Structure 1
Amino acid sequence: MARIGLFFGSDTGKTRKVAKMIGKKFDDETMAKPLNVNRADPDEFAAYDFLILATPTLGEGLLPGLSADMEDESWEEFLPKIEDKDFSGKTIALIGLGDQVGYPDEFVDALGELNEFFSERGAKIVGPWPTDGYEFNSSEAVGEDGNFVGLVLDLDNQSNLTDERLNTWLSQIAPEFDLNV
């Protein structure tokens, strides 16, 4: 089994694309192949000590899932399957995708929901990201320190910054995950 689990939820395929970009940067011993949470086994998911989790925010600040009018299950349906698991001793880095122009009042809110869920279960969340360079009104993904709780990507309006932001963030979390980037 790889050392780091890489899981995502996706509706349009953009989050899947980002997860695949990350996966291609590492060998199979380091990073597991990206896996959509609608295909994930809860016990296998919880077996990783290191996780990178990615989610888009849908509609009015929702986690992806059936209530957000998705055709398939996603984070909304997966989280209840692992709500009784203890994530103490696990290190988790989060990625959120959103549209700051179309949804400035709930920009990457789903990222904040993932942060809250795993923090409440003892996980160490790493990889905060500055809010500089984004224009939005409100976000549940902004932590007490004024930074996002994870990497934020806007492929709708700032796709030209995705590679740079992703590489910078991976370098930032590398010491926490014992990665060579």
Structure 2
Amino acid sequence: MKAALLYGTCTGKTEAAAELIRDEFGDDFFETYDDIAQVGAEGLSGYDFIICGIPTWDVGEIQYDWQDVYDELDDVDLAGTKIAMFGMGDQGGYPDTYQDAIGMVYTKMLERGAEGKIGFTSTETHDFEESKGVIDGQFCGLALDDDCQPELTEQRVKDWAEQLKSELGV
């Protein structure tokens, strides 16, 4: 399986979470582990599986590097590519836009032919009002909040990695 773990970050928190995920899968699982700015939209095609790390930035916006990719996705064919999302957000400071970015990028990638429904997680341990990241009553990926719940990040990543491995059959 040709797999990539790609992230965008401004504060380093999403990169730190990506490192935890990489550690759970092992160094050899991902062919590419990189900042999305180095890969770009065209670089997404050709993978069997991509984990995308996307922080929600400002008030419900996609992080800058991912925004550039998002804007160029209309020209990319992702048919046959399975995707899983993880996002960083601040449910205390931005309860009306918590984890919006994962939902926005997830939806756009599905429109480009990607296969989803992998790595969805419960909203139960999060306290927020609205989120574009909630699809069918669950987050469309792993929701992390190192501002309000940093003590939960490592266990959430471990549990999510095991869930993904099971869903992927690896």
Q: Shared fold (TM-score greater than 0.5)?
A: yes
Q: CA deviation at 1:115?
A: 1.1
Paired letter, 2:34: L
Answer yes or no: is 1:87 the counterpart of 2:86.
no
Contact 2:87 2:101 (8 Å CA) reproduced: yes
Which AA in structure 2 matches 1:26?
F
When residues 157 and 40 of structure 1 are mapped into structure 2, their CA distance, relative to the original with a 3 A threshold, is same
Rounded Cα–Cα distance in structure 1 between residues aligned with 2:92 and 2:27: 37
Match of 2:130 among 123, 126, 138: 138
**CA RMSD in angstroms, aligned pairs only:** 1.6
1:131, 1:27 → 2: CA distance?
Answer: 27
2:160 maps to 1:165: no
Q: How many residues align?
A: 169
User: 1:127 corresponds to which residue?
Assistant: 119
Normalising by structure 1, we get a TM-score of 0.87
Residue pair 1:113, 1:141 contacting (<8 A) in 2 also: yes
Write the deviation string for residues 66-86 of structure 1: whole angstroms up to 9, x where unpaired: xxxxxxxx0111223332222
Contact 1:96 1:110 in 2 (8 A): yes
Which residue type is aligned with residue 15 of structure 2?
R
Rounded to whole Å, the distance in 1 between the matches of 2:33 and 2:18 is 6
Contact 1:61–1:106, Cα closer than 8 Å, also in 2: yes
Cα deviation digits, residues 99-157 of structure 1 (max 9, x gap) = 000100100110111111111112111111100011001111111x2111111000111
Name the SS of the counterpart of 1:24 in structure 2.
helix
Unmatched runs of 5 consecutive residues or more in structure 1:
66-73
Structure 1 stretches of at least 4 aligned residues deviating more than 4 Å after TM superposition? none
**After alignment, is 28-37 or 102-111 more displaced?**
28-37
Higher relative contact order (CA 8 A, sep 6+): 2
Structure 2 residue identity aligned to 1:166: V
Aligned to 2:95: 104
Distance 2:67 2:98 in 1: 18
State the identity %: 34
Q: C-alpha separation between the residues in 2 aligned to 1:170 and 1:28? A: 14
Q: Normalising by structure 2, report the TM-score.
A: 0.92
